[in-house]
Amino acid sequence: MRLFARWFAQARRADPVYHNAMTLATVAASGAPSARVVLLKAFGDEGFTFFTNYHSRKGRELAGNQRVALVFWWSPLKRQVRIEGRVTPVSRAESEAYFNSRPRAYRVGAWASRQSAVIASRRALLAQARQAAARFANGDVPCPPHWGGYRVTPTRMEFWTDQPNRLHDRLAYRRVRDGRWTLHRLSP
């Protein structure tokens, strides 16, 4: 995690806007893989945290299979981090605290969007957003019950750095008992 923290700080300096973009890979009940980019909101010894709609495709897939993979690709640094692990929902209090830190328009959007559901048109979506904004016009926007966070507890982390002649540097860490990690250097 210390190596990830160093690389993440360097990525933030190289790309202040999207340094926290990560690909999240899940698996459907049918066994079909699915991947999309989400934003990392926190990380530490407990794992990597992101937030989403529980009813979305990814939310349904996470409910059915807690094994996931994450990938960070930092092009300016020519570095990649791959993470495998298990996901668990964060506490309601943690979800609400993060939700309340978001801009008001984002909070309204969480009520307006039935993420991953088919919609009639962009116009229909914007109408839902106006209705949600009107619903909460006179007060705060509470965290919807269908929205919250997940934390990925890593079991494997691989750090990749581009090198000349495609002889890339690869370090693989695997979690073993008692929270300790083993380290292996991998052939490119």
- 125 in a structural domain: no
The whole-number pLDDT of residue 161 equals 97
CA atoms within 13 A on the CB side of 62: 26
Burial (CB count <10 Å: 0-12, 13-18, 19+), residue 108: buried
The whole-number pLDDT of residue 165 equals 93
- 122 in a structural domain: no
**How many structural domains are present in the chain?**
1
- 43 in a structural domain: yes
Choice among 2, 123, 166, 177 that is catalytic: 166
pLDDT tens, position by position, 45-84: 999 999 999 999 999 999 999 999 999 999 999 999 999 9
The whole-number pLDDT of residue 115 equals 86
Any catalytic annotation for residue 166? yes
- 167 in a structural domain: yes
Amino acid at 76: P
Q: Which two tokens stand for residue 74?
A: 């930092």
Q: Name the residue range of residue 177's domain.
A: 2-102+144-186
- 10 in a structural domain: yes
- 34 in a structural domain: yes
Contact 173, 157 (CB under 8 A): yes
The whole-number pLDDT of residue 114 equals 87
Low-confidence ranges of the chain (pLDDT < 70): none
The whole-number pLDDT of residue 117 equals 87
The whole-number pLDDT of residue 179 equals 81
Q: Is the pTM value of this prediction over 0.85?
A: yes
- 13 in a structural domain: yes
The whole-number pLDDT of residue 17 equals 95
Backbone phi, then psi, for 83, in 5-degree steps? -130, 135
Distances (CA, A) of 175 to 15, 111, 113: 29, 38, 38
Here the CATH number for the domain that contains residue 174 is 2.30.110.10
